Amino acid sequence: MINFAMSKEQQMVRKEVAKLVKGVVADAAHDMDEDRDIPGEAIQKAWELGFSISMIPESYGGFGLKDSPMETALILEELACGDMAFALAVMLPSLFIHPVVEMGTDAQKEKYLPLYCGETYKVCTLAMQEPHVGFDPIDLKTTAERRGDAYVLNGKKCFVPGAEEAGHMLVAASLEGENNLFIVPKDVSGMIVGAKEKNLGLYALDTFEILFENCKIPLENRLGGEEGCAYVTLIQKGRVAMAAIGTGVARASLEFAKDYAKQRVQFGEPIVHKQSVAFMLAEMAYEVDAMRLMTWKAASRLEAGKDAVRESYLAKLYAGEMAMKVTDYGVQVMGGHGYIRDYPVERYFRNGRGISILEGMATL
């Protein structure tokens, strides 16, 4: 029997995240977007809930809890329902921490995990996406070459969140035709972080382009050591994470448009009574449910330790398309008001465009 009910633990986590979003994000999201900045105290409050470090073993300073892609998908949806940029910023350290926990050597775990298990939020990140037409995370143009006692990185990355502040980042690169991840510390010679990117959406999230020119790192900085890492698994988790975020953004658009349609009166009755509006809202509702179910299906396979290449790809593909459709409908329901920056639906529309484009911005 298939059971879509959440466990008590999952319900509790979802409730706590929703409480955080209501108290910290709901009233501040517009200002964060306008100011192109997320207050440090807001991120710190989310950090204190321990989302990123819960799976780190207690011996390294974490909580030692079981990794749960399903639970993380729930968290990401709730955070993104408040604001997508905030969701990505809050979970940013997971891009570095989770792969190290799952794929790193004992020496790598011992060296890096305690650095990011403190009470204060610290930035670490992942550089995967590249500024090429038709970017494919499987076909990386950034290369790593072994030269003596070091690996030398060459290539370009873009949409790297938090790159300017990150103490460490994982860099995806091809080594002899095989995709790998490499741990790169801040201020290493040969790594040039460009100016903050000016993107269509996610104004509050700092993303950067990075140039690697003969960037030399020690051999021990290859994630997983000589055996390398399960790079494909990271892609799968990243795609499901973006699908969960897309579901949250679409849900936010639906909820705001629905409430607006109930309150907006024209010709003596709320516009929600008009078939053209009601049908759009109904379509938005079932598409959000479909996005969520596809996300959960992929996340449940990952949680069971199964391959989710197909499920993760389809979940992200569908979420990317439907995030645009649902957020566009949100703008349409509000008419001219939907095009005004005073209302959040235009922000949902701009941010939703990124779901289908961005890779390596979030992980489970």
pLDDT 10s digits, 145-202: 999 999 999 999 999 999 999 999 999 999 999 999 999 999 999 999 999 999 999 9
Quote the pLDDT of residue 58.
95
Reply yes or no on whether the pLDDT at 344 is more than 60.
Answer: yes
Pairing type for strands 150-161 and 143-147 reads: antiparallel
Residue pair 364/299 in contact by the 8 Å Cβ criterion: yes
Exposure letters 266-296 (e unless 16+ CB within 10 A, then b):
eeeeebbeeeebeebbeebbebbeebbebbb
Residues of the chain with CATH 2.40.110.10: 125-227
Q: What is the pLDDT of residue 5?
A: 79
The CATH 1.10.540.10 portion of the chain extends over: 8-116
- CATH 2.60.40.10 is the classification of domain 8-116: no
- Domain(s) of CATH 1.20.140.10: residues in the chain: 231-357
Summarised one tens digit per residue, pLDDT across range 241-276 is 999 999 999 999 999 999 999 999 999 999 999 999
From 156, 70, 168, 71, select the one nearest 113 (Cα to Cα): 168
Q: What mean pLDDT is reported for the chain? A: 96
Instruction: Using alpha carbons, list the distances in angstroms from residue 307 to 35, 99, 313.
Output: 41, 17, 12
Q: What pLDDT does residue 6 have? A: 84
Q: Which residues of 301-330 are buried (b: 16+ CB within 10 A; e: fewer)?
A: bbbeeeebeebbbbbbebbbebbbbbbbbb
Using CB atoms within 10 A of its CB, is residue 200 exposed (0-12), middle (13-18) or buried (19+)?
Answer: exposed
CATH 1.10.1740.10 fits 231-357, yes or no: no
What's the pLDDT tens digit per position in 304-335?
999 999 999 999 999 999 999 999 999 999 99
| Continuous segment of H or E residues that includes residue 25 | none
**What pLDDT score was predicted for residue 7?**
86
Mean pLDDT, residues 289-301: 97
The SS3 call for residue 84 is helix
Q: Give catalytic residue positions.
A: 359
- Alpha-carbon span 98 to 230, nearest angstrom: 12
Which CATH architecture best describes the domain 125-227?
Beta Barrel (2.40)
Taking the C-alpha atoms of residue 160 and residue 163, their distance in angstroms, rounded to an integer, is 6
pLDDT at res. 63: 93
Is 80 exceeded by the pLDDT of residue 1? no
Q: Which of 171, 169, 162 is nearest to 141 (CA)?
A: 171
Closest CA to 70 of 303, 273, 275: 303
202-230 residue pLDDT tens? 999 999 999 999 999 999 999 999 999 99
Extract the runs of DSSP E, i.e. beta strands, from the chain. Answer: 125-127, 143-147, 150-161, 168-175, 178-185, 191-196, 207-218, 265-266, 269-270
Residue type, 29: A
Whole-model pTM?
A: 0.96
Q: Per DSSP, what are the bridge partners of residue 154?
A: 143
pLDDT score of 2: 59
